Amino acid sequence: MKILVCISHVPDTTSKINFTNNDSQFDANGVQFVINPNDEYGLTRAVWFQEQQGATITVATVGGPETEPTLRKALAIGANDAIRVNATPTDSFFVAKQLAEVIKNGAYDIIIAGKESLDYNGGMVPGMIAGILGYNFLNSCTDIIVDGNTVKAIREIDGGRETVSTTLPLIIGGQKGLVEEKDLRIPNMRGIMTARTKTLTLVEPVDASVNTKAVKFEKPAPKSTVKLVSADNLDELINLLHNEAKVI
C-alpha cells in the first residue's frame, strides 16, 4: 500500500503574527514553522499503517526551500521519502493542482491531507484534489481501516459520527481522532540521522490558474481590561454582564 501525506508548512501557534505591505502580506520574520497539526495526525496514522501493514509513506508539500526542514521532520517521524513542489502556495486551487499532479505520477492508494491548515483554515485542498482526480473523498475523518481494496472509515458530522465504506484510491481530510494527541511521534535521534539520507525530490510546478488572493489581513481586536468585582457585590456583576458585556 502506497500512502501520500500532504504536509502544510504553517506558523507555530505560539508565534507572534504580523503583516507587512499595508497589511496585505504575512511577515514570516522570526516565526517558527511546524507541520500543520491536522497533517501530523495523518502522518502518524500513516506510520501506523507502515508498521502494521507494511505501507510506504511519501510526504509532499508545495513551497520554497524554507519548507524543507518541515519535510525533514516528517521523514524523521517515519516517512520513506519526500517531494517538494518548487512553487509558492498562492491559493487552494493552485496547491490542489500541484498535489494532484504528484498523485497522478505516484499512483498512491491513500492520500491523507489535513481537513484544513492552521494558517488560512480554507478547508478546500483535499476536496479539490479529489475533484481533479475523480477519487473517492472522505472529509473530517477520525478513523480508517483498510482491508485489501476496501476501506471502512468514521468521520465527524454535525451532531455525531458517520461510518462509511468505500474503495481505494481514496483521499482523506484528516484530523484529531485518526490518532490521539498523546500518540503523535516525536523524532528520536536515530530518526533525525536517518532523515538526512532519505530522498527529498524537487519537482517543478505545472501550470495552474490562481483564482484568489489575499487583499488585506486584520488582527483581532485586543482584549479589553479585566474588571474585577468583589464576591459579595452580585448586583454590580449582574449590571456589568447585562449592560456592558451584554451576555445576559
SS (H, E, C) the chain: CEEEEECCEEECCCCCCEEECCCCEEECCCCCEEECHHHHHHHHHHHHHHHHHCCEEEEEEECCHHHHHHHHHHHHHCCCEEEEECCCCCCHHHHHHHHHHHHHHHCCCEEEEECCCCCCCCCCHHHHHHHHHCCEEEEEEEEEEEECCEEEEEEEECCEEEEEEEECCEEEEECCCCCCHHHCCCCCHHHHHHHCCCCEEEECCCCCCCCCCCCCCCCCCCCCCCCCCCCCCHHHHHHHHHHHCCCC
Residues 244 and 226: their CA atoms lie apart, in Å, by 12
Say yes or no to pLDDT of 88 above 90: yes
Residue 213 confidence (pLDDT): 84
pLDDT in tens, 155-202: 999 999 999 999 999 999 999 999 999 999 999 999 999 999 999 999
What is the reported pTM? 0.88
* Average pLDDT of span 60-77: 97
Superfamily name and number for 2-220: HUPs (3.40.50.620)
Residue 196 confidence (pLDDT): 94
pLDDT in tens, 8-57: 999 998 888 899 999 999 999 999 999 999 999 999 999 999 999 999 99
